[in-house]
Amino acid sequence: MKVKHQFLRFGLVGVLNTGVHLAVVMLVLANTPLHQMGANALAYLVASSFSYLLNARWSFNARHHWPGFLRFQGVNLLGLCVSTLMGFIGDLLAWHYLLTVLLIALIVPALSFFLHRSYTFLAPAPPPDRRPDCFKNFPKVRPTLPQPYLAVYEQEYIANRTEGGTANRIARFLESWMHRQVAATAPGTPHAILELGAGSLNHLPWEQDYQRYDAVEPFKPLVEASRHHTLVNTFYSSLAEVPPDQYYDRVISIAVLEHLLDLPAEIARAALHLNEQGVFCAGIPTEGAWLWSLAWKYGTGPGFRRRTGLDYAVLMKHEHVNTADEIETCIRYFFTEVTIKRFPTPFKPFSLYTFIQAKGVRRLQCVEMGEPQ
């Protein structure tokens, strides 16, 4: 994200933070025996925590960790010291108080922003030779579907991706955010694309200026039903079928990574097919998030039960074997530069979908994990 965009978000968080502080003070004074000193102390704790979490997730796209929180408070303390020093100088030089306030308003936010950007939220690079703990969970085993689910599985799967009821149509409309984000990574010049889990090829119309479009899709009925079938150069049933000397400018996927049983190996193999400046980008449901869980339980779920009499949760456990956290962790391990966006809010618990863009392939890790034996 550009510095100016981060600064604008940082400033907006500051405005919201002021509102949070004021709201807490008013609630405490109205409902507790505390006076102004206690109310403002409590308000500072609440507001500073709010500011830290919002800036981490939204302004600087960083993960929460307690050392970062302590660094955040340290920068805030430095801002307090600078404000106090400016007040001392103002008294010493007999400045008008408005001039002192103006200088503080110009200096402290700018200083805080650049310290937060370069110090507080500068995440340490993971050790390149240490695999994330979640890798021990792979390859996973997909829960077996009971016979009543198997009887309707193919029909429901195709309907979910191509037709279905109102809930499915709403879901596909919301999923268009992922398609737009992935398509926006196109360089604007003829290039080669490999799509993982291309399904019904519903993403292909979003792409422009591609020179070659290859697709990996093991579920043949979806591919065969697509009217975009002839626009694809080569179909593969798995990444292992892609020739080792075939490279792409972009490897993309939409609502696929949550289904992969051997996720780290698949991401590693995909990365090995990228050109030196290639980009890996994926749209995924924010599996594990509160809002996403509500969406399928009370959106798609009831329609599935009406059509089949079955519990949609059983099908979801069978299909979505990976969480958003696991997917993000895997991608960060294999790439040096990772950018994450969420929809409809930037906060993971309150998001439905997540977009991940990754560059800078760590080839040693990818070869170790993903090269066919």
Q: Summarize pLDDT for 257-286 with one digit per residue, the tens.
A: 999 999 999 999 999 999 999 999 999 999
CB atoms within 10 A of CB 256: 19
Q: Is the confidence at residue 373, as pLDDT, over 50?
A: no
Residue 341 has phi, psi (to 5 degrees) of: -125, 155
% of the chain with per-residue pLDDT over 90: 45
DSSP secondary structure code for residue 232 in this structure: -
Residue, of 45 and 124, whose pLDDT is higher: 45
Residue, of 210 and 39, whose pLDDT is higher: 210
Query: Superfamily assignment of 133-370 in CATH?
Result: Vaccinia Virus protein VP39 (3.40.50.150)
Residue, of 186 and 156, whose pLDDT is higher: 186
pLDDT band at 163 (very low <50, low <70, confident <90, very high): low
State residue 129's pLDDT score: 59
Q: Is the confidence at residue 125, as pLDDT, over 70?
A: no
Tokens 């889990």 sit at which residue? 197
The rounded Cα 188 to chain-centroid distance in angstroms is 24
**What does the block give as tokens for 272?**
């090995």
Residue type, 188: G
Q: Is the confidence at residue 127, as pLDDT, over 90?
A: no
Nearest by Cα to 271 from 190, 177, 196? 196
Cβ-proximal residues to 290 (8 Å cutoff; 6+ apart), any chain: 349, 350
Q: Which residues of 153-189 are buried (b: 16+ CB within 10 A; e: fewer)?
A: eeebbbebbeebeebbeebbebbebbbebbbebbeee
Segment 60-66 mean pLDDT: 79
Q: Please, are residues 214 and 194 in contact by the beta-carbon 8 Å criterion?
A: yes
Dihedral (Cα; 60, 62, 67, 70), 10-degree rounding: 30
Collapse the DSSP code of 287 into the 3-class scheme (helix H, G, I; strand E, B; otherwise coil) and give the result.
coil
Dihedral (Cα; 322, 154, 179, 206), 10-degree rounding: 150
Each domain of the chain, given as residue ranges in start order, spans 3-120, 133-370
At 292-320, the pLDDT tens digits run 999 999 888 888 888 889 999 999 999 99
Nearest by Cα to 356 from 285, 294, 272? 285
Q: Is the confidence at residue 82, as pLDDT, over 60?
A: yes
State residue 123's pLDDT score: 54
Collapse the DSSP code of 140 into the 3-class scheme (helix H, G, I; strand E, B; otherwise coil) and give the result.
coil
The rounded Cα 164 to chain-centroid distance in angstroms is 27
232: left (phi over 0), alpha (psi -120 to 50) or beta: beta
